[in-house]
Chains A and B, each alone.
Chain A
Amino acid sequence: METTQKHLTHLKHKASLGPWRLRISLADHKLLTIGLMMLLIMFSVAVFAPQIVQLDPYEINPMDRLTGPSAQYWFGTDEFGRDVFSRSVYGARYSFFIGMVVAALSVIPALIIGLLSAYFPLLDLILMRVMDGLYAFPAILLAIAIVAIRGSSVENLMIALVIVYIPAVSRVIRSAALSVKGKSYIKALDSQGASAFRIIGVHMLPNILPTVFIQFSYVFAQSIMTESALSFLGAGIPAPMPSLGNILFDGKAVIYNSWWMTVFPGLFIVMLVIGLNFVGDGLSNAFNQRHVGRVKRVKAKKGVV
């Protein structure tokens, strides 16, 4: 009788983060792995920008304007003769920075708001109505409005984005927290004497961490794209600072002749955003798979309720 043997790829790496129990084996999650690799590449580019870049991103060389990729100018030059490679690398650096800061400054308050709303019904009423109000603003329009009022700068851009993302993220966290709150083990904690804040901080929080991480990666991706869009519209990072978006903006006029101003920064944006999305989706899949085996077994032995 024939038997077929399955040959699985050898387990590459098992990530384990102590008390938070986020053990996932990277070999089983290709999406996550690819995403993380893409992010790692972009992260290195962003962090090691000063080391990688030889030419000054601000230096104008009118003689060399709009030349294609060459040994000297790896990604070619823009309309002022500035090296597109060094501008792209620094653009990536700023994008990365903005993405991280906006994600952090959005997710942390959203986490607090989401948890408190889920646990205290009265607070929920008030907080969610406020969030609803803010939620109504589309990110780009709000950003343009703030930039118009306060002037164009990186800080104002980040303020606008944070205002827009906190409501959206707090909604998602609130729903995750609500579903955890309904679980039996949370209900059982009252009889074990736990105070409200202990239940929220010590018991509920670890169970919504997957959601938090995923939201972080999505906000990160969204803010990069929004920043690029805004810079493309001329309302983002002010010239002459390079940003992936404003290189695209400048490149739009000369797109037919000077493809390198569009393609290379575009590629960076794609790497960043796809990497982040893969990580977000990959994490989502990974965390959903974990408890399946256990749940199935318990269900099979259920007695009379």
Chain B
Amino acid sequence: MTILEVDDLVVSYPVRKRLFGADELLHAVDQVSFVVEKGQTFGLVGESGSGKTSIGKAILGLEKFQAGRIVVNGETLTAQNQIRSQDYRRNVQMIFQNSYSSFNPKKNILAILTEPLKNLTHLSLKEQRHQALELLDIMKLPEQALEKYPDEFSGGQLQRIGVARAVIVKPKLVIADEPVSALDLSVQAEVLNYMQAIQEAFKMSYLFISHDLSVVQHMCQQMAIMHQGRFVELGDREAIYQKPQHLYTQQLIAAIPGELSLEETVQRQQIFSKYQAERGKMYDPLGRVHNLKAFQPNHWVSQA
């Protein structure tokens, strides 16, 4: 069952306003389409400026989109009609990269966790508190945390609270925007484990946005690599990570720092040289990345 369907999505910003004629636009997201199934984790990988965060914001409603369709749990949004119902809001929630800045510093954890419940459900105060406690339990946070304030917690704990807040209304889709990028290594592992535990418990789908390919391939079954607002490769993780076809994907994987054998080092240099030499071929005459073409079942590659 499809939870999220994105069709030819366009999110653009005016970079230069003109007095006569159309404004010059920057397409942060340039006709992107993909589908996320129920219970699946879909990874969006890209470097900064690739547009991956804009997709998440457009789906959530933090940004307006200019063309295309977004369908969440059967509810359709178009460029002309972007009004989201309460159901939609309850079905789509977000985990932020820096949870601390997404919390009102003057509110305690109970207030922060129950905010979505107050607005999107009709639970009594007692039931709200019960839900909050249930999630704290899953996140292995103590009950006393409810009365504390955001600046009393560490980065890892804050991310866990951010995850708890995102799932407290039992959404069908959670957009995780760089949820672990700012965390220490061991804390990153904890939060990723919790995210998986939540997914198993509540059967929700994740749209996992990150620049870190290793983390994405660990969490996601299906992924897409973005560059300049478009997809260069889309498919399941084995296809993308083990048999990357597009030059951009290949050099992205090659750039991951780590211990490399002599053979791997040589391969890496070859990929980089190839990328320098042939990168012009990635774009069409208009400067846009080529459209995706089917390569194998569940593996699409941008090609001329």
Chain A interface residues (CB < 8 Å from chain B) = 19-21, 183-195, 198, 203, 206-207, 291, 294, 298, 301-305
Contacts and interface: CB of A to CB of B under 8 A. Distances in A.
Interface in B164-195: 165, 178, 181-184
Contacts of B94: 188, 191
Nearest to B154: A297
A303 B212 CA distance: 11
Contacts of B277: none
Contacts of B108: 19
22 contacts: A21-B149, A185-B101, A185-B102, A185-B103, A186-B104, A189-B115, A190-B61, A191-B62, A191-B92, A192-B165, A193-B89, A193-B119, A193-B120, A194-B115, A195-B119, A203-B107, A207-B106, A294-B100, A298-B101, A301-B155, A301-B183, A301-B184
Nearest to B100: A298
Contacts of A183: 101
Contacts of B96: 184, 188
B224 interface: no
Interface of B: 47-48, 60-62, 86, 89-90, 92-94, 96-98, 100-108, 115-116, 119-120, 149, 151, 155, 165, 178, 181-184, 211
Contacts of B181: 303-304
A187 B96 CA distance: 12
Given A203-B104, A298-B100, 8 more contacts: A183-B101, A184-B102, A185-B104, A187-B62, A206-B104, A291-B151, A298-B101, A304-B47
Secondary structure at the A interface, as helix, strand, loop or mixed, is helix
Contacts of B90: 193
A304 B115 contact: no
Contacts of B115: 189, 192, 194
A190 B182 contact: no
A183 B183 CA distance: 21
Instruction: Tell me which of B60, B97, B151, B184 has the highest count of chain A C-beta atoms within 10 A of its own C-beta.
Output: B151
A21 B100 CA distance: 17
Nearest to B175: A191
Contacts of B119: 192-195, 198
Nearest to A301: B182
Nearest to A207: B106
Determine which residue in A187, A194, A303 has the highest number of CB atoms from chain B within 10 A of its CB, and name it. A303
B80 to A, nearest CB: 20
